[in-house]
Structure 1
Amino acid sequence: MAYASLLSLNQTLDQIPHPDDQTEQQHIIMRSLHEKVSFLLSFLDVSSPQNSDKLRGLEGRIRDAAYEAEDIIESHISNQIFSELDQKFESLQKIILVLNSISDEVVKMRERNEIEVLLPRNSLPAASSKSRSTNNSVVMGDDFMKFWKLLTNPYSKLTVVSIVGMGGIGKTTLAKKYYDEFTAHCFDVRAWVTVSQEYREQEVLKELLNSIRGLNYESREESTEKLAENVSKRLKDKRFFIVMDDVWKIKTWNKVKNLFPDSNNGSRIILTTREPRVARHASRDFHCYHMRSLSVEESWKLLQRMVFGEKECPPQLVNIGRAISGKCKGLPLVLVLIGGLLYKAKRKLDYWKYVARNLRSSRNTDYNILDFIVFIYNQLPHHLRACFLYMGVLPEDYEIRRSKLTKLWVANRFIKPDRSKSLEEVAEEYLKDLVDRNLIVVGQWSYSGEIKTCSIHDSVRYFCLMKSKEEKFNSDVDYLPGVHDNLRQVSILTDLKNQIPKFALGNNRDLRVRSVTFFFRNSPNDIHFITNFWLLRVLDALTIRFEEFPVEIVELVTLRYIALTYWMKHRFPASIAKLCNLETLIVNPGKFRSIFNTSFLPPEIWKMARLRHLLFMRSYLPHPTDALMGRNIVPLENLQTLGNVINFRWTKEVLDMMPNLKKLVISFEHDGQTKWSSYCFDNFVYLLQLEILKCFFFAKSYLKYQDPLPVKFAFPQKLKRLTLSGCRISWKNMTVVGSLSNLEVLKLKFHAFEGPVWETNDGEFRRLKLLLIHMTDLEHWKVDETHLPSLKHLSLRYCYNLVEIPSQIGKIPTLKEIELCECSTSLVTSANVIREEHRKLGNFEFQKEADYPPAEQRPKARRSSKVVCKIDVKSDADRPAAPSPPKENGYLLEMDHDLAIASKQNFQGDYKFVICGMLLIE
């Protein structure tokens, strides 16, 4: 944490004002401190990770000195009590002496060639993170076949199949492989729930309900008993497939097993566990599969794939590469992590020998995985270490959204400023680097290929927790009283009701806590201790439901990130402007996502110059009128994200105050009297940095507006993602959108455009990857295959009048998916025609083998595309019986509870399709 502590201190020093009452001596001390911090930062920036052992002692001294200096400076300057700094300057001088001593040692180590300098950083140009991450799992062919036979046995009674093995051996990967690819449509209900070591019954039940189709949002607020009742009710008489991942205790299984009714219809449960006793207890019919370690050859093949992808390993690295893979003892997780290390490092024989020499041999114990992770962490560049360790703040198996994670990294000052990029852009680069190293796992990808959610393996998380405590960086509330008061991050994973006396630690205002994150639904009355943390930067309290703004936190002027949840309409106090360092303000709507969750922002919001992200479900933003101009209103030059703002007038003067806005979500709720033009939304062209725009229009009558919208839209050319809803503009005016040269995602909802005919033109939509049309009166779509040359995904929903999908759409070479929902029969027919055309091109061949072949034995299709046609079934009675497991002359028949017809499924590598009810061409 030496680098992170220096980086944070450096940013604090950069933001120090220079009051006239400071003496020349004080200026000299502050300048000297800044110079020492900059020197050590530069040194760590170019220091090779191979220096870790030699620098470990120095890093601890650097961290403690930097923490102490920042605490002294920030605690006083944040309150603008500069006169009191006099009594602290002696302490700062001592810290400077410590940093001087460390700097001298660094210089001497360099002179003795004990320190290897790395220029540039040890990072190679990499393939996209997505392409690599999709290959990070391994499922051996014979493993899959054994598991397949256990799971698809002919028994009609409910069967529990247990996968047992040590951590990191691939249990979850095997379960996920089957869950994702081979059961999507052969069961009425599917659900995946991660149980984890600390079993929380209510959270598990909610996750089950969230995973089961048809969950309404209000179910999340119910009691444990009601949640359990709802789970059983939704599974009754259904053929279900449930994965219970990471079950640790027999009593945990005993608590949940009664939720799953046995309707004698072939339902299946997969249970993954490290404990053989749990597996034997849950699978009494001995349906247990014991994961084995990879063979020597399998290990080497996996390591090669992690490092080189489809390319061959250079001959000079083969022998040492085999030695490295052999030391991993067949553990897939270790091979994946070591593969990520080698992928990003120098591909030279000397470095590979260094890795082989320093890897410890495994004793095939769970805890020994930590030995490998320790080595990998020590090879991590200094600028990535704090971001990586921060993942330990998250609960086990928790998936966090990319956008939230990067905001938290920025607020905690883990990101080094780059004049050519925003802090968020640099944070994105850090995240992709950690993904490429396989230290962070991507959960979901967006259509445009961006990371949506991510997490870490529980073994990696365990290391992060241990290392964080060693570095005085992070702790759960249970460990807080026993750790050093330099602790920076606190995550609260439990109910504080009975722990407040222990946690509050009296009125100790000397605690150095910078970040508090709640993951448990505590009461608003249980967080008053927050005001003890004078230097707090991050307050993430989304799990706590407030009825009004906790006004006491406005005294914590160092706050940079606030995330809260409200139950009802609420007004922010004018005193929020005291939070002069606030960068991110997020308000979650809680249970009711409606007009009851409306935020009313005060005029003082225009004084908060450091704001970067304002996110609400619905918010009223006061217009900076002439009457307000005398209240120290400043341009919000740092503002990047704003949403959702209602009925705001986007005048040129206002837009000039937000010159760097990148994402904007707005709504216009028409009252029947105000003219649409008065909102000035045709001024968006002046937002030169805007990349994402979501614009929703509503009126008293949702069938017909009283005032037509202006047809002269004007959008900035940087726009990449555009969502329009309720505009009712003629398709003839689509050229304004089609001419956007950087547009990648276009979503048209609720009659965004109207008219019977849409005809695209040459040169339009050159980069468009995703097109969604939701609810329209469109009848005929005229398009040439050259008009949308980059289209990958087409989604048509509730397009009742559209006659067909133009055949030219099927000829677009980049096309991967067409999704139809609630559309005309003729539209489905045209999708079938496209599917047949793909077959004629030789994209699909039915397999004849009786069993699912290993991946390396499957023939590859020439082109990848996917068509999904969904046809709703009105009642359960219309649904055919569930299909049987694979038989000798065919493959698994797919059936979704929303589909009317099922047919054969064809497997070809990663490609599959199903005829009729659901068409899948991948």
Structure 2
Amino acid sequence: MMQECLIDRRYLIVLDDIWSTQHWDDIKYVFHRYVEGSRILLTTRFNEVADYACTLKGNHHVMSLLDPNESWELFCNIFPLERYRAPRFESFRSHLSNVLEKCEGLPQVIVTAAKRLSECKNNIQHELKKMEKEIELLGILDYSALALIYNQLPEYLKVCFLYLGIFPKRSEIQVKTLLRLWVAEGFVKPSRNKELEKIAYFYLKDLIDRSLVLLLFAEVTVNHNLEFLLSILPSTIWESPQLRHIELGALYTVDPPSVVKKNLQTLSWVGPTHCRKGVSVGCIVTFPERCAFPSQLKKLSLSGTNLFGRDLTVIGSLKRLEVLKMENAFHEEVWRVYEGGFYGLKYLVLKDKKLKRLEAYTDAFPCLEYLVLRCCHYLEEIPSSFGEIFCLKSIELDRCSRPSIVTSAKDIQEKLNKNFGEAK
């Protein structure tokens, strides 16, 4: 039908927001009968699509960020600002100016803001304040568009993109630093005759071409708040087979993976809501009886959980675990570590207001180098068996009330010096 309407006519057709080269292939045949003077204007978020659809390769126009005047012009094309010129709307206009400033010249964010306000039927002041807070905290308004772009990323790019979340929102990141971090984390797949840094650069270019990050000279600017991306994509976080490190704060509601992640090396959960199949009572969580941890786990942090002795026995069997941090994570008053427990642990940080006794059998913690005890108000002493640990370099006591625990630390130091020499 449309093809017939265009026969022997000049036309200007605008195709907005084309997402893939396949979409362009599906519709371009309609325009195959070209009449001189006709034009097709295509917009897209993806550089690949623009280059593919452009008849003069590499000659497409790349949009820059809007300046303040252009931002206002775009906003007013959608939102009827003239209705709010009266003095009583002065506070509204002030908030509106703040919102547009925080949109930082991103057309999609400005358009979304204008549409939401235009469609608001009641209490537009409240809606504007809500939007202002969303942009400040999250950096975006159109969550579905970001999630859709993310879901289209290949697995290796998902990992690289999520890694940007370790940097502060709207921060600028040195390209060289970012590429080296990706390589060091093992995100970059080796390829023959190519340096890893060059491969990493192609990863970055792909993210730039998808409008997920901005390149400013030799710096990268994060377009979106990755903390929020994590919260809207809770199940997809675990899909990457290369995932090695994950640290989640109290804002997240991510369940553990349904299968064991063999490559996972760092696992940190702060808050009880992240324990799958756990029973939550206030700030207390009970782990399931068969609580499996990744066999490659090197670092584990737990806070506010309700661990029992059997749970710590499971954790103590992880041969590659090197760092364990627990903050009020143990339910019982006595912690017994049996022979061979925590075989590879090097760093133990324990903050516990309930624990009274720590009992470690011979050959427990054989590789421990650093022991840090904080706020262990009722802990009576450090086990004398720690004086047999050749690797032990340091014992740190912070706000531990019992004089007996200080005495035991000194006794262990003397025992280490006696057993292994003054160098200890």
After TM superposition, the score normalised by the length of structure 1 is 0.25
Q: Which runs of 5+ in 2 are unaligned?
A: 1-20, 26-45, 72-99, 110-133, 170-186, 190-225, 274-280
Q: 1:509 to 1:729 in 2, by over 3 A?
A: closer
Matches within 5 A, 1:828-843: 828-841=406-419, 843=421
Q: 1:834 to 1:554 in 2, by over 3 A?
A: farther
8 Å Cα contact 2:284/2:305 also seen in 1: no
Q: 1:679 to 1:817 in 2, by over 3 A?
A: same
1:664 to 236, 246, 266: 246
Distance 2:232 2:52 in 1: 41
**Counterpart in 1 of 2:138?**
570
Q: Which runs of 5+ in 1 are unaligned?
A: 1-16, 22-75, 90-507, 512-523, 529-545, 556-565, 578-600, 620-637, 671-677, 845-860, 866-922
Distance 2:371 2:315 in 1: 17
1:714 to 280, 286, 292: 292
Q: 1:602 to 1:727 in 2, by over 3 A?
A: same
Q: 1:721 to 1:554 in 2, by over 3 A?
A: farther
Whether 1:615 aligns to 2:189 is no
Task: Summarize deviations over 1:880-904 as a string: whole Å, max 9, x none.
Answer: xxxxxxxxxxxxxxxxxxxxxxxxx
**Counterpart in 2 of 1:552?**
106
**Counterpart in 2 of 1:756?**
333
SS of match in other structure, 2:296 = coil
Structure 1 residue 761: Cα displacement: 2.0
Question: Sequence identity, in percent?
Answer: 26
Structure 1 residue 788: Cα displacement: 1.2
Distance 1:695 1:778 in 2: 21
Matches within 5 A, 1:666-745: 666-667=248-249, 680-681=255-256, 683=257, 685-697=259-271, 705=282, 708-712=285-289, 713-745=291-323
Distance 1:770 1:780 in 2: 19
Q: 1:770 to 1:656 in 2, by over 3 A?
A: closer
8 Å Cα contact 2:272/2:283 also seen in 1: no
Structure 1 residue 649: Cα displacement: 9.5
SS of match in other structure, 1:754 = coil
8 Å Cα contact 2:51/2:57 also seen in 1: no
8 Å Cα contact 2:272/2:285 also seen in 1: no
Matches within 5 A, 1:475-554: 548=102, 550=104, 552=106
2:50 to 57, 71, 80: 80
Structure 1 residue 840: Cα displacement: 3.2
Q: 1:730 to 1:690 in 2, by over 3 A?
A: same
Distance 2:406 2:412 in 1: 10
Task: Summarize deviations over 1:357-400 as a string: whole Å, max 9, x none.
Answer: xxxxxxxxxxxxxxxxxxxxxxxxxxxxxxxxxxxxxxxxxxxx
Distance 1:752 1:710 in 2: 11
**Counterpart in 2 of 1:771?**
348
Structure 1 residue 780: Cα displacement: 1.1
Structure 1 residue 716: Cα displacement: 0.8
SS of match in other structure, 2:247 = strand
8 Å Cα contact 1:732/1:758 also seen in 2: no
Task: Summarize deviations over 1:574-630 as a string: whole Å, max 9, x none.
Answer: 3895xxxxxxxxxxxxxxxxxxxxxxx7565434442322526999xxxxxxxxxxx
**Counterpart in 1 of 2:365?**
788
SS of match in other structure, 2:371 = strand
Q: 1:605 to 1:811 in 2, by over 3 A?
A: same
**Counterpart in 1 of 2:395?**
818
**Amino acid of the structure 1 residue aligned with 2:389:** I
8 Å Cα contact 1:688/1:716 also seen in 2: yes
8 Å Cα contact 2:388/2:419 also seen in 1: no
**Amino acid of the structure 1 residue aligned with 2:407:** T
8 Å Cα contact 2:335/2:355 also seen in 1: yes
Structure 1 residue 667: Cα displacement: 3.9
Q: 1:87 to 1:743 in 2, by over 3 A?
A: closer
8 Å Cα contact 1:643/1:664 also seen in 2: no
Q: 1:791 to 1:656 in 2, by over 3 A?
A: closer
Distance 1:696 1:618 in 2: 19
**Amino acid of the structure 1 residue aligned with 2:324:** L
Distance 1:575 1:711 in 2: 34
8 Å Cα contact 2:284/2:304 also seen in 1: no
Distance 2:308 2:229 in 1: 26
Distance 1:707 1:660 in 2: 31
Q: 1:770 to 1:551 in 2, by over 3 A?
A: farther
8 Å Cα contact 2:365/2:389 also seen in 1: yes
SS of match in other structure, 1:752 = coil
Q: 1:679 to 1:82 in 2, by over 3 A?
A: closer
**Counterpart in 2 of 1:606?**
151
Structure 1 residue 735: Cα displacement: 1.3
8 Å Cα contact 2:300/2:325 also seen in 1: yes
Structure 1 residue 86: Cα displacement: 5.0
Distance 1:645 1:759 in 2: 41
Structure 1 residue 711: Cα displacement: 3.7
8 Å Cα contact 2:390/2:420 also seen in 1: no
Distance 2:188 2:102 in 1: 25
Structure 1 residue 805: Cα displacement: 0.5
Aligned residues: 264
8 Å Cα contact 2:268/2:302 also seen in 1: yes
Distance 2:228 2:62 in 1: 37
8 Å Cα contact 1:645/1:666 also seen in 2: no
Distance 2:56 2:287 in 1: 62
Matches within 5 A, 1:247-646: 548=102, 550=104, 552=106, 568-574=136-142, 605-609=150-154, 610-611=157-158, 612=160, 613-615=163-165
Q: 1:571 to 1:18 in 2, by over 3 A?
A: closer
Structure 1 residue 810: Cα displacement: 2.0
Distance 1:659 1:783 in 2: 36
Structure 1 residue 20: Cα displacement: 11
Q: 1:771 to 1:88 in 2, by over 3 A?
A: closer
Structure 1 residue 842: Cα displacement: 7.0
8 Å Cα contact 1:791/1:814 also seen in 2: yes
Q: 1:774 to 1:644 in 2, by over 3 A?
A: farther
SS of match in other structure, 1:786 = coil
8 Å Cα contact 2:350/2:374 also seen in 1: yes
Distance 1:714 1:646 in 2: 23
Distance 2:331 2:55 in 1: 66
Distance 1:796 1:841 in 2: 24
Q: 1:830 to 1:726 in 2, by over 3 A?
A: same
**Counterpart in 2 of 1:797?**
374
8 Å Cα contact 1:767/1:789 also seen in 2: yes
Distance 2:233 2:63 in 1: 46
Task: Summarize deviations over 1:93-128 as a string: whole Å, max 9, x none.
Answer: xxxxxxxxxxxxxxxxxxxxxxxxxxxxxxxxxxxx
Q: 1:839 to 1:710 in 2, by over 3 A?
A: closer
Q: 1:573 to 1:740 in 2, by over 3 A?
A: same
After TM superposition, the score normalised by the length of structure 2 is 0.50
Q: 1:617 to 1:665 in 2, by over 3 A?
A: farther
Structure 1 residue 821: Cα displacement: 0.3
Structure 1 residue 571: Cα displacement: 4.7
Distance 2:272 2:63 in 1: 52
Q: 1:778 to 1:725 in 2, by over 3 A?
A: same
**Amino acid of the structure 1 residue aligned with 2:263:** Q
